[in-house]
Structure 1
């Protein structure tokens, strides 16, 4: 016969309400009582009826995450560290991929909302994130991750993308580069801010580059390597060609490096390359990649901590948390001797 809350309460001489509060990690239970209840639960191998709990509390203990591409190293790392925090608080993470398609994203959002997730995390591929909820529908709390919509009154956790553009460009200038190009993302907040960091850093150093040194692309998550390769091939046709390129992400940078090498040029002697993301294999590439580390693990953990906080404090005002990036210098941008 399954162990019930009332069985645990009877054994310990406490109320069923107290046992329920311990199960829900409520703070108004004394630590000594909490430990007694937890110990007895473990002894009896108690397993809560999640369906019954959801019916009573109105919460499922499920959290939804929609990302553009589950195979992309960045989003995989974020999901991993986010899930670790949620597990610590007895919550499950439901994952969905939009395939970098706004229509698929809308369908995945609706599917997660239908499943009654307690909170929805979105890294959106849309230009405008709106009309998520139907009129009269209960609104599920939202946390934006990685991609922000400043005009939307929502909580946000992500990188300081302006700083990413600034760090990458400063580094290339410090290595003596003068003709610094940028391969960027045209329709994302991350792309806009990295581009702004790049542009303002050049302006601050009174360095000008022709407009054709900036190439913007739309679907980088799915086509990062091929898009970077094609963009770099276009840049190499310019006269004079760039002597350095700051790429939107690491996959784009990998494609750019391939294009430079295929053209019979050297990295970094002829063209220095800097990416963004510092994915775990960056140091093992044919030319180890200099990259701006977004602190992906910290982004995921911070997002998880925000989920826990917001479910405890649903009326908390919207805020943005920016995780500071840092540069990982490798062979793709070393200053020529």
Structure 2
């Protein structure tokens, strides 16, 4: 590491350092995943400033020669990371593909990308960790420009972070939608689920309800954040949190929980003292409508219900649902545009929340 000359005054020092490191990599003296020289080492060796070193590192990261791992340092990327990606292929991975709000999200993504000359490859995880791993590993064999993905069981520490890191190492930027992993630094476009939970609950409070139950999903970020908004609203209006009336379920519980007779009896007992229920999404709300109807209870006369997402089933249900609208296609469009921004400048970190809106229909009433 002694062939770098800073004598040429016509070329910026950071540019000379960039050329030097690239040459070092091309010669094989630094290999993929090797840790690059420290800032201090380069500063002392070549009598340059920390600003010069960081500017060179940032440019090399942006061009795909290096990648950074928070708290560990800067490393050499795979050779493919600094090649121009002419295939213009972007992967889109969601928990589900063919129903509910997902076709509209994907349509929004596809509309933007196709206009820019990109193709997409689709995958889904069924919200299962091992399937997420298989899907991601298979995608690594493609010449991808980027990845738009919905996390799996996002409330937990993700055991597939090592696979996501391989995307980063190869210069493939990642954009999360609907949620993100707290232990993996990333760009994301999400709905403001805390505010969504707040406005759903506030609507019931303003309708005069003081005994408000809730059904939330335990294994994803949206469920926990909607619950946070639920609690925030009840605290603001000095309404007691009905712990017995707050029910949690997981992906694996869902079918049993809302179909099994014993589970249904437990659910009804726990909601017995409530006059209103905040449901995790429209799908759960429709199941609750059926359960209540089958047990001689009416919505909104006996229970008011508010849900989330404003999917097609919210409008076609027997009782049309009051629901907090998910941005769907708009989120897909913004995620696609944001990913394209990062493809052009890999130093960008884009983290945005989209504002939810309440849609009032027939499933709530004043008491």
Q: Same fold (TM over 0.5)?
A: yes
**CA RMSD of superposed structures (Å):** 2.4
Paired position in structure 1 for 2:38: none
The answer to whether the 8 A contact 2:245-2:271 is kept is: no
Q: Structure 1 residue 80 and structure 2 residue 112: aligned?
A: no
Q: Against the structure 1 CA distance between its residues 298 and 98, is the aligned structure 2 distance closer, same or farther, given a 3 Å change threshold?
A: same
The answer to whether the 8 A contact 1:66-1:122 is kept is: yes
Paired position in structure 2 for 1:188: 220
Q: Structure 1 residue 321 and structure 2 residue 321: aligned?
A: no
Paired position in structure 2 for 1:69: 96
- After superposition, what is the alpha-carbon deviation per residue over 1:10-48, rounded to whole angstroms, capped at 9, x for unaligned? xxxxxxxxxxxxxxxxxxxxxxxxxxxxxxxxxxxxxxx
The answer to whether the 8 A contact 1:229-1:252 is kept is: no
Q: Against the structure 1 CA distance between its residues 166 and 204, is the aligned structure 2 distance closer, same or farther, given a 3 Å change threshold?
A: same
Q: Trace 1:93-108 onto structure 2 (pairs within 5 A).
A: 93-108=120-135
Paired position in structure 2 for 1:161: 193
Q: Against the structure 1 CA distance between its residues 227 and 291, is the aligned structure 2 distance closer, same or farther, given a 3 Å change threshold?
A: farther
The answer to whether the 8 A contact 1:236-1:242 is kept is: no
Q: Displacement, 1:207?
A: 0.5
Paired position in structure 1 for 2:157: 128
The answer to whether the 8 A contact 1:245-1:274 is kept is: yes
Paired position in structure 2 for 1:11: none
Paired position in structure 2 for 1:331: 362
Q: Any idea what SS the aligned residue of 1:282 has?
A: helix
TM-score if structure 1 supplies the norm length? Answer: 0.77
Q: Trace 1:188-267 onto structure 2 (pairs within 5 A).
A: 188-219=220-251, 223=254, 227-228=257-258, 233-238=265-270, 240-267=272-299
The answer to whether the 8 A contact 1:122-1:143 is kept is: yes
Q: Displacement, 1:219?
A: 0.8
Q: Displacement, 1:328?
A: 0.6
Q: Displacement, 1:234?
A: 2.9
Paired position in structure 2 for 1:29: none
The answer to whether the 8 A contact 1:228-1:253 is kept is: no
Q: Any idea what SS the aligned residue of 2:302 has?
A: coil
Q: Any idea what SS the aligned residue of 1:57 has?
A: coil
Q: Against the structure 1 CA distance between its residues 108 and 257, is the aligned structure 2 distance closer, same or farther, given a 3 Å change threshold?
A: same
- After superposition, what is the alpha-carbon deviation per residue over 1:92-119, rounded to whole angstroms, capped at 9, x for unaligned? 1111011221101111011112112111
| Greater mean alpha carbon deviation, residues 202-211 or residues 244-253 | 202-211
The answer to whether the 8 A contact 2:151-2:181 is kept is: no
Paired position in structure 1 for 2:170: 138
Please list every run of 5 or more consecutive structure 2 residues that lacks an aligned counterpart in the other structure. 1-81
Q: Any idea what SS the aligned residue of 2:270 has?
A: coil
The answer to whether the 8 A contact 1:232-1:260 is kept is: no
Distance across 1 between alignment mates of 2:344 and 2:280: 36
Q: Trace 1:33-72 onto structure 2 (pairs within 5 A).
A: 57-72=84-99
Paired position in structure 2 for 1:273: 305
Distance across 2 between alignment mates of 1:240 and 1:102: 35
The answer to whether the 8 A contact 1:233-1:259 is kept is: no
Distance across 1 between alignment mates of 2:270 and 2:134: 43
